[in-house]
Amino acid sequence: MCGVGRRLEPTRSSMNRRSCALVVVGNEILSGKIQDSNAFFAARELRAAGVALERIVVVPDELDAIADEVRGCAARCDFVVTSGGVGPTHDDLTLEGVGRAFGRKLILNQELAALINEHSSGRSNPARLKMAEIPEGAILNHASELWFPTVQLENVYILPGVPQLFEPKLRMIAERYRSDPFFIRVIYTSATESIIAAYLNDCMARFPELMLGSYPKFDDADYRVKLTLESKDRDYLARAFDYLVGLLPREAVLRTQ
């Protein structure tokens, strides 16, 4: 859960750390009709911006499911991004669900209604105007190349699920929360995880704030395990990297990055 990352994450006040949760709304993903790509995109963009993505959740097109998840994430993370469920049809419930998370009703936003009318070439109708009904107290963010602004309620940003629309909006939000970068070093080993586990434990005992990942490879790669070492503190990372490389059997270290 967001904010619980104390065991492996740096917690020093000098390291500016922002946390985020992503709530993906959509029966089409839960039923396997389409493969979501927004979570992977968001994970990479947020990481590159120094933001810690703490949780990804896919919930069905259900008001209470959306509201419960958004309420929990908004309380624990610096900000929340939702993906999907913002169109004009019966199964587009994210705006109402996010409103419910904060006890807010939907009201027609005149600025958004005018924008929708302007971009409808005279074809506006009640269904299109449903997209102008946003939770009371929500604000509009215009900072992207798209004409449709991003609706924000408290620390929750409500994004469309279509990747062509989600991606530029997510980039704008990641930029807004940009903080100190994560630094990373990588060690590729020819030894198995069970051989090196004791060295990793030793390293974690000495550098408890290091983010240390161990990823065995089961395909044809030329290594057995990829170790990733990360920190927002470049010096701390350098010391941990040197310490771990010194621990590992020399012949087990294939290469480092």
Query: Which residues 131-160 are close enough to bind a second copy by CB under 8 A?
Result: none
Q: With CB under 8 A as the contact rule, which of the stretches 35-43, 101-109, 135-143, 234-242 interacts with a second copy?
A: 35-43
Would you give the DSSP letter of residue 120? T
Q: By CB under 8 A, which span of 89-97, 104-112, 143-151, 232-240 interacts with a second copy?
A: 89-97
Determine the Cα–Cα distance for residues 37 and 190; give it in Å rounded to an integer.
32
Helix (H) or strand (E) holding 46: helix 38-48
Residue of the chain from 13, 14, 110, 164 that contacts a second copy (CB under 8 A):
164
Selected binder of a second copy within 11, 12, 16, 88 (CB under 8 A): 88
The answer to whether 179 contacts a second copy (rule: CB under 8 A) is no
CB-neighbour burial class of residue 198 (10 A; exposed 0-12, middle 13-18, buried 19+) = exposed
Is the Cβ of residue 139 or residue 215 nearer to a second copy in the bound state? 215
Does the footprint of a second copy cover residue 96 (CB under 8 A)?
A: no
Q: How far apart are CB 24 and a second copy at their closest, in Å?
A: 8
CA angle 89, 69, 77 (to 5 degrees): 120
| Cα dist from 65 to 27, 36, 38, 76, whole Å | 12, 18, 20, 17
User: From the CB of 207, what's the least distance to a second copy, in Å?
Assistant: 12
Complex with a second copy: residue 67 or 153, whichever CB lies closer: 67
What is the C-alpha to C-alpha distance for residues 218 and 252, in angstroms, rounded to an integer? Answer: 17
